[in-house]
Structure 1
């Protein structure tokens, strides 16, 4: 529902008289001519063009006859599109902004004082907030749309586009793409981005259908919607194609797909050629396009039949447009700045409200791109004039540096920053020196003039384009802001994950966080935010900052993060001695609670203080659950595999160090234990030779899965069938569960082959998002668990209950001190398990409770030592 609210008196400033017959874009005004053809397909409804026109008319009438500046929070939703078309049809200039950026909406509202703000309210209803009954501005009659320039979202500098610009560019695009009224295009790009908006314009012009969706192409539900709507057209920026690579786009059956379009940045020629060939064999065409916001959207396109042979070219001018090359000092005769002319060239820029009264101030567009025209008539972009940097007297082209690194297998974004070159690259920390050396050798720069940041994910704008300002910021972290919740969160991430490249776009999962540091991070994060958001490990620093509770709403005593980092044990003790902490209501993740309770019960049962068995097998399931959450992220395949190997090292190295000491100093263990191979080479039945079966099993699983994930096909299958893959592995694991191949050891319930199905069950539990999926896992657990522990029904019931909680109950109620204590025990559980075998045998007969407490304390201490050593040596 859309309604007017919050009317304010108009300020005493000059305003334009009503325009009785305003200029409008014909495609917005003439929607009804397409009759009953389907216009919009949303998850909730279908609208015909006639129905769409009726809704547009209603909102146009509410906006009134006096032209006013309408700020619209863009979103791929019917309400936003109807409001946008209503404003265009009635001649009201639209300031289109990203609807998910409060800071942008706030800054542009302050800069331009819009007369009407159209955006959703907190309850989800869409509203028109009328701030001025007429207008506070002088609005030129040609002005139709204001958009931020690429990379300047939130900046007062805007592109002024006319109704003629919008109409001309829509007609040109629809012509060379061959769009007709049988087409249906998905809104894979944001509405506020000129490329995404051009998809809307060109399809509405031809009476085609729009599949309105806010889903990512990496979401399986997107493809279900696309197929159900008989989608014919997909649009993407380079990052979109990265996502398509990850999900195995080439195997997705899309019988109605006709064309795939690409713009918004350079796609590597080999990938253009690959997608062009894929399209040829699959029955669709690839259109590579070139444009800028200043040209409304498009200036050139590469005819599909040339994409495979000339993938490095941007092609030919769009119908109605033309190029010329303007000579540039320092370049050869064949290269010049690309200058575009055509009816889609913007009116000019606006940097203040006064500029809204201006007419055309620009006749042709100087693109800033360096280009040449090849002998076949196709244009090729060879560099970016405005991105050239003068560093130590040398003229450096960051784009050429990016191309150079790409040739060496390094994906990077580069930007000049004063007297240094900033390079943000994908890869491991060990590659930093190699990247710096490559750049220095090719550019002739000294290493000191090159700042390299090696990241797990490159910074991108909301449109998917490179964020070069973030590149400069990332490579000089000492210049980041030092106050505020955002800075607190970045420091917290940096401290716990031991990373120096934390940004607003970083998340715990993307930065390689795993179960060993997850517990401490969750507890510390709750202190900073005042609560722990659901699925916080996948949310960016920016998203977490926006979810922070105001200080006044935080529980007593929680004013923010500690000034100096304290150990987990010290924090737990402090929590117990703070009276107000006992009043603090919190939640505790079920997995953390089970790990904490489990390690106490495992050690206590070994000491024989009590006998409650089964939790080691619950922890196997939790290990699979955490593997799915922390290792199977949206990161690229190579990054995923790197994270798994890092987790293997974090488990195996401290384990082998400790066990080696036990082998040397005692007679209880074989050398095979020290290298975690006892399960494979020994079938002994002595008391301690099987002690570390849990660690061995976990390492074996991760090594095998790392090898499988390195296979592109398997990686894509997992991304596409996130729940089905672990379910299938669980089914395979049942072969070992019942030892059909005779691989079990003398203690079958402790054999990795026998208990792997529990690891896969935990993995599937993390991927289960519906009640039927959880019910299926519960049924499988109830059917397959009995019989694993012969004549031990209580042990069987404990495992079923624990894993049932993991499947169905994500969090448990808690209080501050219990959460702190659980956090210490859970984060140290691996190290307690490792060390307790060297403590309790000497104390259990005479001092069983002391043996239990000493075992826990030594494990917590070893955890602290390992963490400190790892951060000092940076080896994990």
Structure 2
């Protein structure tokens, strides 16, 4: 048997793994269990290296973001043992690659303890002296096709990355990506090279504990694939206080240019950089980066080659044009070549440059832009997936299939009576993708070209229509919560015909008028709703496990409770059943809170403004219709009332305008819509999510305190007086830290007192409501009362509109009867108005055509 020492007497090693002790007592690793210095890490690495021995062996390592896996990885590299890095937690990949490559040593966790299983004392393979690392070409799969990387590849790419990122020994990077993924591994390598720290964790950025550890570890950077940035939007990253964060890196797939620009601009605001990067496993990790100062102005570009690397463009017949072609990379980080069996481990360098498979162009400013793809590889949720490998795997199970990447999902076309759930499970295990990213098309037969080869273009077209004989099977909730049914529910409540499983409530234009009904209907269906359900795609809404009877406890969002309580207080005080006032002013704050939640989303600017105008119409039209009907039948209202400007001209009898609240809310919303329609203002509110509404609140104090003596304060219900309450509610929704929530609370305590002369309890009610809105997301509530609260909250505007015509006609009756009748009539009008809207929508569009994707 021929071993390494027969080829070369000197064992190659990786300097950054070998020289850990040079960094002394600097902090190397931070975990939730404590810290480890470089000196301590080096000692553990040296001990493990001694156990691995001096005879080179192939070490299969189940990669994980924990100290044990890190130590084995560094020990193997420092002692010259090639590492075959596989995804930890993926038993199928572990078994598959163990069978395919017969490693000499297997390092993996077993029942919570790390074990190093020495299967033989000398290698069964011929290992080339330069071979240092083997990574899968397809992310988390068990594909036997591996990338062969050398010691020089790892060192050169780590040095290149550390150079253009400007990594300092004081930096501390969080491991937001898996160790077995070349992008995640490059973060580890480049920071160890510079003696920087690693905040080592397997937690998701969607987990609050991740951010607690990041702050405690004084994290200065983290890496993200496009899906990571989706999660950042959901968890309110823009409002987080991260005082040590210097920069964020992005790779692993294309992030939409508008999102690149948005995150870059936010970074400029908060004093941090965004590095957009481009790479492949075959280049160890990185090939290009976009200088952060260009991210906002050139977000569509991948940038320039990393230090030490270079690009050229090879002409491609399908992509003619000047400075356009297939992107080819050359540099010291280009792999040795591929391995498809153990016999390939003896090979040295078989490639000198890397054809990326991407079609690119070089712009006049010297930046490269990727504009297309030559091959069928797809990046889905940051994982590089080979659809042909998936086809091969399914064929082994006796399932003929056509697979391709489409958008952010893998499409699998099969035939006959195939079990879509079984297929999805097989593919998820093969690729490491979540089931929600796998769509199964069950066809009567697979489309073929005349040559007999699969017709992938036809399969792609089938993903966009509902051709007879095609059944779309998508992973999603079960037990009465099928995605198709959820899509129909969204279409029904939101009057939309374009609902897909990728749609979200806010993305479809949902607002506070439809939110309560939608949340209650969904909670009945799913059993529980996450706090950010209104921003989640339908496909991600899953049923909660059924709890034990003793654990069944229902909660209702505080905003819903405040709307319900406020409308009861408004009507009750008008009837003089009780004298608790302030409900309408509290509703203005809730309106600002809901405005921020439903209209200040990550959608395109134009779409957000359009949805806002639609919501404004949803308030104005039912109000005008009702007032017109009453005016037609009685003489109660004037033209000024009908046209909703009575607060401007005043009532003839000098009384308080009946609909001052609706007029004030409409004027405020129109003013905000006009303000945010200005792109510069919209960018400001995105950059200063909390500061912007607080600035508007401060501006509103001019009329709140009548600082210019315009006399607006003489008419309390005037729209000119109350905008500060709306802005404060807006700020409450954007308060992402306890300090910001405290600022909102203090602002309410400081500005509400004195607004109502000699009515301190009115002010107490408003302040207490603000405090609940800011500090208590939901309130426990019995099921029956939660349903009642939901109905009243949904119909609150309609109750406010109609109660003036109900309770005066019942003044001779018991006041409670007048209250209940007013509430019931308003709820009835709400139901009628909603049905009328849906009927008009149905007449216009015939029927909702829900397209399930």
User: What are the residue-to-residue correspondences of 1:824-835 with 2, within 5 Å?
Assistant: 824-835=791-802
Of 632, 641, 647, 1:664 maps to 632
| CA gap 1:630/1:312 in 2 versus in 1, 3 angstroms | closer
CA shift digits 1:85-130 (9 cap, x unpaired): 4565564735455x9xx8xx476457557955569x9xxxxx5555
- Partners of 2:707 and 2:719 in 1: how far apart? 14
- Partners of 2:345 and 2:256 in 1: how far apart? 42
Q: Where does residue 827 of structure 2 map in the other structure?
A: 860
**Is the contact between residue 28 and residue 197 of structure 2 (CA under 8 Å) also seen in structure 1?**
yes
User: What are the residue-to-residue correspondences of 1:764-775 with 2, within 5 Å?
Assistant: 764-769=731-736, 773-775=740-742
Matched, 1:71 2:48: no
Q: Where does residue 83 of structure 2 map in the other structure?
A: 93
- Partners of 2:512 and 2:301 in 1: how far apart? 44
**Is the contact between residue 321 and residue 340 of structure 1 (CA under 8 Å) also seen in structure 2?**
yes
| TM-score after normalising by structure 2 | 0.68
Q: Where does residue 204 of structure 1 map in the other structure?
A: 192
- Partners of 1:380 and 1:783 in 2: how far apart? 53
- Partners of 1:860 and 1:839 in 2: how far apart? 12
Of 291, 295, 320, 2:279 maps to 291
**Is the contact between residue 326 and residue 337 of structure 1 (CA under 8 Å) also seen in structure 2?**
yes
1:737 is displaced (CA, Å) by 2.2
Matched, 1:759 2:717: no
1:788 is displaced (CA, Å) by 2.9
**Is the contact between residue 323 and residue 339 of structure 1 (CA under 8 Å) also seen in structure 2?**
yes
- Partners of 1:345 and 1:805 in 2: how far apart? 57
CA shift digits 1:375-414 (9 cap, x unpaired): 999987564222699xxxxxxxxxxxxxxxxxxxxxxxxx
Matched, 1:190 2:184: no
- Partners of 1:615 and 1:277 in 2: how far apart? 39
| CA gap 1:323/1:508 in 2 versus in 1, 3 angstroms | same
1:826 is displaced (CA, Å) by 0.9
Alignment gaps of 5+ in structure 1: 1-15, 122-126, 390-416, 425-460, 557-582
Q: Where does residue 549 of structure 1 map in the other structure?
A: 544
Matched, 1:492 2:486: yes
User: What are the residue-to-residue correspondences of 1:707-786 with 2, within 5 Å?
Assistant: 707-743=674-710, 748-769=715-736, 773-786=740-753
Matched, 1:604 2:593: no
- Partners of 1:685 and 1:64 in 2: how far apart? 97
- Partners of 1:753 and 1:209 in 2: how far apart? 54
Between 1:261-270 and 1:829-838, the stretch displaced more is 261-270
Matched, 1:170 2:157: yes
- Partners of 1:512 and 1:423 in 2: how far apart? 23
- Partners of 1:837 and 1:858 in 2: how far apart? 11
Q: Where does residue 373 of structure 2 map in the other structure?
A: 384
Of 817, 821, 828, 2:788 maps to 821
- Partners of 2:49 and 2:372 in 1: how far apart? 44
Q: Where does residue 444 of structure 2 map in the other structure?
A: none
User: What are the residue-to-residue correspondences of 1:154-553 with 2, within 5 Å?
Assistant: 156=143, 159-164=146-151, 166-167=153-154, 169-170=156-157, 173=160, 177=164, 184=171, 186=173, 190-192=177-179, 193-207=181-195, 290-299=278-287, 319=308, 325=314, 328=317, 337-340=326-329, 344-346=333-335, 363=351, 365-370=354-359, 383-386=372-375, 475-476=464-465, 479-481=472-474, 484-485=477-478, 488=482, 491-492=485-486, 495-496=489-490, 497-498=494-495, 507-539=504-536, 541=538, 544-545=541-542, 548-551=543-546, 553=547
**Is the contact between residue 368 and residue 384 of structure 1 (CA under 8 Å) also seen in structure 2?**
yes
1:748 is displaced (CA, Å) by 2.8
Alignment gaps of 5+ in structure 2: 100-105, 379-400, 409-430, 441-459, 846-853
Matched, 1:842 2:829: no
How large is the RMSD of aligned CA atoms in angstroms? 6.0
**Is the contact between residue 61 and residue 84 of structure 2 (CA under 8 Å) also seen in structure 1?**
yes
Q: What secondary structure is seen at the aligned counterpart in 1 of 2:668? A: helix
- Partners of 1:88 and 1:858 in 2: how far apart? 76
**Is the contact between residue 24 and residue 89 of structure 1 (CA under 8 Å) also seen in structure 2?**
yes
- Partners of 2:484 and 2:815 in 1: how far apart? 44
Q: Where does residue 644 of structure 2 map in the other structure?
A: 676
| CA gap 1:593/1:162 in 2 versus in 1, 3 angstroms | same
| CA gap 1:320/1:813 in 2 versus in 1, 3 angstroms | closer
| CA gap 1:88/1:485 in 2 versus in 1, 3 angstroms | farther
Between 1:531-540 and 1:619-628, the stretch displaced more is 531-540
Q: Where does residue 641 of structure 1 map in the other structure?
A: 609
1:838 is displaced (CA, Å) by 3.0
1:728 is displaced (CA, Å) by 3.6
**Is the contact between residue 275 and residue 292 of structure 2 (CA under 8 Å) also seen in structure 1?**
yes
**Is the contact between residue 48 and residue 75 of structure 2 (CA under 8 Å) also seen in structure 1?**
yes
- Partners of 1:597 and 1:369 in 2: how far apart? 59
| CA gap 1:378/1:839 in 2 versus in 1, 3 angstroms | closer
Q: What secondary structure is seen at the aligned counterpart in 2 of 1:479? A: strand
| CA gap 1:510/1:87 in 2 versus in 1, 3 angstroms | farther
Of 536, 543, 558, 1:590 maps to 558
**Is the contact between residue 325 and residue 371 of structure 1 (CA under 8 Å) also seen in structure 2?**
no
Q: Where does residue 792 of structure 1 map in the other structure?
A: 759
**Is the contact between residue 514 and residue 626 of structure 1 (CA under 8 Å) also seen in structure 2?**
yes
1:808 is displaced (CA, Å) by 3.4
**Is the contact between residue 170 and residue 205 of structure 1 (CA under 8 Å) also seen in structure 2?**
no
- Partners of 2:145 and 2:483 in 1: how far apart? 32
1:691 is displaced (CA, Å) by 1.3
Q: Where does residue 661 of structure 2 map in the other structure?
A: 694
Q: What secondary structure is seen at the aligned counterpart in 2 of 1:624? A: helix
- Partners of 2:144 and 2:30 in 1: how far apart? 34
- Partners of 2:838 and 2:97 in 1: how far apart? 49
- Partners of 2:724 and 2:261 in 1: how far apart? 42
Q: Where does residue 445 of structure 2 map in the other structure?
A: none
CA shift digits 1:235-285 (9 cap, x unpaired): 787899999999999xx999998x9987656789999999999999x9999
- Partners of 2:5 and 2:509 in 1: how far apart? 58
- Partners of 1:23 and 1:596 in 2: how far apart? 72
- Partners of 1:586 and 1:256 in 2: how far apart? 38
Q: Where does residue 407 of structure 1 map in the other structure?
A: none
CA shift digits 1:153-202 (9 cap, x unpaired): 55757643434364254266259749686684755973555345334423
| CA gap 1:593/1:31 in 2 versus in 1, 3 angstroms | same
| CA gap 1:291/1:774 in 2 versus in 1, 3 angstroms | closer
1:821 is displaced (CA, Å) by 1.5
CA shift digits 1:345-367 (9 cap, x unpaired): 4466678x989979679636442
1:823 is displaced (CA, Å) by 0.9
1:60 is displaced (CA, Å) by 6.5
1:646 is displaced (CA, Å) by 3.1
| CA gap 1:746/1:34 in 2 versus in 1, 3 angstroms | closer
**Is the contact between residue 278 and residue 302 of structure 2 (CA under 8 Å) also seen in structure 1?**
no
**Is the contact between residue 26 and residue 167 of structure 1 (CA under 8 Å) also seen in structure 2?**
no
Q: What secondary structure is seen at the aligned counterpart in 1 of 2:474? A: coil
Q: What secondary structure is seen at the aligned counterpart in 2 of 1:839? A: helix
Q: What secondary structure is seen at the aligned counterpart in 1 of 2:556? A: strand
